Structure 1
């Protein structure tokens, strides 16, 4: 699924496979050499899809934690909390929850002082 949203999957890397790793690179438009040369990709575009009210209740605490850690961002409508509208499809929510449960966001959660998943 991440490939559909212009992510590169570490599982596809031949020299150093990194199964839980995904990174946005604009469908291969940006490479590591660009980053090393100071040419950074633009900010990942906001998701367009169903609003948070459609996020299944059991997943909301995880999505809320990812918002608190700055891993995903809403529309900025609630600058003091996590009441922003987040335009995520159900597939995107499932992917984020899958990565979260597998520990894929643990380093970032730890850095910002939040409890890790694994």
Structure 2
């Protein structure tokens, strides 16, 4: 597996663990529907939360959350719509972004953008 993909999967795992420590309940990870992939699907306070995780080991090219473009958002929404129908979910949903950064000392920083798009 390519190193950048390995780092991405590790960031998704770290972000999932971090959200679980904040009271979220993990439902699925790496959910795929056609061309869409949703990194994490969790519940929190009765809300189904679809999370895109973005990782950068440096901020030279911008903050991780800046790399969730219009096309990516549309794919996530389509995948979420399919998941909602599969699970027959009739309550609230939300789309979040978790930005994971790693500083030169190897420390991770998490930023959680709730209700980031729709």
Larger Rg: 1
Q: Which has the higher contact order (CA 8 A, sep 6+)?
A: 2
Same fold (TM over 0.5): no
TM-score range normalised by the length of the shorter chain: under 0.3
TM-score by length of 2: 0.25
The structure with more strand, counted as a fraction of residues = 2
TM-score by length of 1: 0.25
